[in-house]
């Protein structure tokens, strides 16, 4: 447990397990895996325990993954959120958006106050019909492809969530299902995230030489994405009648209740880019992982269909029905447990303190390894297995609040949690009601890290029932 100031705090006294091949000056650089850093952190936590460290070129990085340690660093009185690598570099794209703003930036508090009411459970009623309509487009797209087609599931779930957030956030259709190829914006966002994930651990000299071409492409992608959003905001300002009470209307017309000021155009653009990067990518990843697991478990698909038939006997999924799809919700929860698409977060000490008896000085930081926290022994002996029923009321661990953090923690936890749950439950329920899912027999799940997580190379066949 955290006990601040019980004795003189000196981080030099902190001795933690670490990789065995530590080198003079270079530290644990041989154990640094920049393209799959979160998955390696999980594996190292399994080797070295719930608290370990790496030392990279003199910088100490502490990893925590046990419920007691995570509960300690989640204490808002003693610890606070920190923008760590690579999220810090995501500011090159989304600036002071809700996901990437520093706690001290007033624009974060203003945007949060203005947008928070739009992401409550009750607000989902306004977005429900759009989610239904866009999922129907995806279903039509898959039906037209035919039962023999191998579908690129991560690419198609990206198309679906892009259409939903584009419609709900700023009344725009990217016409993603009009073409087999991903929309240009999806290509650019995916490329930006891959670049940031890798370059965050690089050196400016390397980026200016070895990776110069990729760096220049990233700058071009960022400029194009920002330009597209700026055009949308300008068009709405010219034609204010074009809005339908969407998130863009809210940001343009609502003042911060604390200051009476409205959001600046550049901050509005950053919020929209945040929705596109953080909201669209994450929901798409959850959908793709869930469809992978369901393709392997027809028995679970049948339970979802039976639930749908019971809740929606007419076949029409109404807003009030979504909360009654409890097994489908457990499928989503279990997907987020095994593969939280935002796989960890950083915390920084507000003051000298201790975690599990180990000293931390004010300003030091840790990384919470959600991939391992969500596989902790408190989940049971089969914590690596996909089992939605572990979220049944009688089976959830007593310390669930300390074991399950797929949306982060504290005041900076994901504002779009209810939105994500609603759109994912809607999409999964509609898809499995219509299609049988056939997995690629030669496929083994591989996870791609581009700040968020998604299945790499996942293909499925879908056959109308």
Q: Which residues are catalytic?
A: 282, 407, 414
As a whole number of angstroms, the distance between CA 169 and CA 172 comes to 8
Check: CB of residue 341 under 8 Å from CB of residue 453: yes
Check: CB of residue 48 under 8 Å from CB of residue 18: yes
Check: CB of residue 100 under 8 Å from CB of residue 94: yes
As a whole number of angstroms, the distance between CA 338 and CA 409 comes to 18
Give the pair of three-digit tokens for residue 158.
């990206």
* Cα R_g (the chain), whole angstroms: 22
Peptide bond into 86 cis (omega under 30): yes
Q: What's the helix, strand, coil split of the chain in %, to 5?
A: 55, 10, 35
Of 290, 299, 334, 335, nearest in space to 430 by CA:
290
Listing DSSP states for 325-390 in one string gives: -HHHHHHHHHHHHH--SS-EEEEEESSSEEETTEEE-TT-EEEEEHHHHTTSGGG-TTTTS--GGG
Token pair 């504290």: residue: 410
Check: CB of residue 73 under 8 Å from CB of residue 368: yes
As a whole number of angstroms, the distance between CA 212 and CA 208 comes to 5
As a whole number of angstroms, the distance between CA 332 and CA 159 comes to 19
Strand partners, 447: 455
Check: CB of residue 50 under 8 Å from CB of residue 13: no
The CA-CA-CA angle for residues 229, 233, 237, to 5°, reads: 165
Check: CB of residue 425 under 8 Å from CB of residue 322: yes
The CA-CA-CA angle for residues 356, 39, 343, to 5°, reads: 70
As a whole number of angstroms, the distance between CA 81 and CA 357 comes to 21
Number of helices (H) and strands (E), helices first, in the chain? 18, 12
């Amino acid at each position: 447990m955290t006990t601040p100031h019980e004795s003189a705090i000196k981080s030099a006294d902190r001795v933690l397990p670490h990789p065995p091949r530590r080198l003079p000056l270079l530290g644990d650089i041989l154990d640094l895996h920049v393209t799959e850093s979160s998955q390696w952190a999980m594996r190292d936590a399994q080797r070295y325990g719930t608290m370990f460290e790496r030392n990279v070129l003199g910088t100490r990085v502490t990893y925590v993954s046990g419920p007691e340690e995570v509960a300690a660093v989640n204490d808002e009185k003693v610890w606070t959120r920190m923008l760590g690598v690579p999220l810090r570099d995501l500011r090159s794209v989304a600036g002071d958006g809700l996901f990437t703003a520093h706690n001290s930036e007033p624009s974060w508090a203003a945007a949060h106050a203005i947008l928070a009411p739009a992401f409550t459970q009750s607000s989902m009623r306004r977005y429900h019909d759009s989610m239904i309509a866009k999922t129907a487009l995806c279903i039509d797209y898959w039906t037209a492809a035919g039962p023999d087609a191998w579908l690129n599931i991560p690419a198609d779930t990206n198309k679906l969530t892009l259409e939903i957030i584009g419609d709900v956030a700023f009344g725009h259709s990217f016409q993603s299902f009009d073409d087999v190829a991903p929309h240009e914006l999806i290509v650019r966002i995916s490329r930006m995230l891959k670049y940031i994930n890798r370059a965050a651990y690089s050196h400016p000299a390397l980026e200016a030489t070895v990776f110069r071409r990729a760096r220049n492409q990233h700058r071009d992608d960022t400029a194009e994405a920002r330009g597209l959003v700026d055009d949308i905001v300008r068009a709405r300002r010219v034609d204010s009648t074009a809005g339908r009470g969407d998130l863009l209307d809210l940001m343009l017309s609502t003042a911060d209740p604390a200051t009476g000021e409205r959001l600046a155009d550049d901050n509005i653009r950053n919020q929209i880019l945040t929705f596109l990067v953080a909201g669209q990518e994450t929901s798409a990843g959850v959908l793709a992982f869930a469809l992978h697991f369901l393709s392997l478990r027809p028995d679970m698909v049948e339970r979802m269909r039976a639930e749908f038939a019971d809740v929606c006997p007419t076949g029409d999924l109404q807003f009030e029905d979504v909360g009654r799809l409890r097994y489908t919700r457990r499928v989503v929860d279990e997907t987020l447990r095994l593969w939280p698409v935002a796989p960890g977060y950083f915390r920084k000490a507000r003051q000298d303190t201790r975690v599990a008896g180990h000293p931390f000085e004010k300003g030091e930081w840790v990384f919470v390894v959600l991939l391992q926290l969500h596989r902790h022994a408190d989940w049971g002996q089969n914590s690596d297995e996909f089992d939605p029923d572990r979220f049944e009321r009688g089976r959830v661990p007593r310390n669930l609040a300390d074991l399950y953090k797929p949306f982060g923690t504290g005041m900076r936890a994901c504002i779009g949690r209810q939105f994500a749950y609603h759109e994912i439950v809607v999409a999964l329920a509609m898809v499995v009601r219509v299609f049988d899912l056939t997995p690629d027999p030669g496929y083994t799940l591989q996870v791609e890290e581009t700040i968020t997580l998604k299945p790499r190379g996942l293909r499925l066949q879908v056959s109308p029932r």
